[in-house]
Amino acid sequence: MARPVVAIVGRPNVGKSTIFNRLIGDRLAIVEDKPGITRDRIYGVSEWNGKPFSVIDTGGIEIDGDDVILKSIRMQAELAIEEADVIVFMCDAKSGVTQSDEEVAQILFRSGKPIVLAVNKVDNLARHDEIYEFYSLGFGDPIAISGSHGTGIGDLLDAIVDILPELNDDEYDEDVIRVALIGRPNVGKSSLVNAILGEERVIVSDIAGTTRDAIDTPFEKDGQRYVLIDTAGMRKRGKVYETTEKYSVMRAMRAIERADVVLIVINGEEGIIDQDKHIAGYAYEAGKASIFVVNKWDIVDKDDKTMQQFEKKIRDHFLFMTYAPIVFLSAKTKSRLHKLLPVVQHAAEQHTLRVQTHLLNDVVSDAVAINPPPTDKGRRLRINYVTQVAVKPPTIVVFVNDPELMHFSYERYLENKIRGAFDFEGTPIRIFTRRKSDES
List phi, psi (to 5°) of 148.
-70, -35
How many whole angstroms separate alpha carbon 416 and alpha carbon 432?
15
List phi, psi (to 5°) of 410.
-75, -35
Q: Say what the alpha-carbon torsion angle 1, 294, 223, 394 is, to the nearest 10 degrees.
A: -50
Q: Quick one: the chain helix, strand, coil %, rounded to 5? A: 40, 20, 40
Q: Say what the alpha-carbon torsion angle 255, 259, 261, 265 is, to the nearest 10 degrees.
A: -10
Q: Known binding site: residues?
A: 10-17, 57-61, 120-123, 183-190, 230-234, 295-298
Q: Known binding site for GTP: residues?
A: 10-17, 57-61, 120-123, 183-190, 230-234, 295-298
Closest CA to 371 of 420, 333, 437, 311: 420
Please report which helix (H) or strand (E) contains residue 220, including its range. Answer: strand 215-221
Which residues, in sequence order, are CB contacts of 363 under 8 Å at separation 6+? Answer: 417, 418, 421, 422
Q: Under a CB-based contact definition with an 8 Å cutoff, are residues 7 and 116 in contact?
A: no
Q: Under a CB-based contact definition with an 8 Å cutoff, are residues 88 and 160 in contact?
A: yes
Q: Residue 373: is the preceding peptide bond cis (ω within 30°)? A: no
How many whole angstroms separate alpha carbon 357 and alpha carbon 350?
17
Closest CA to 62 of 281, 214, 183, 241: 241
Largest CA distance in the chain: 73
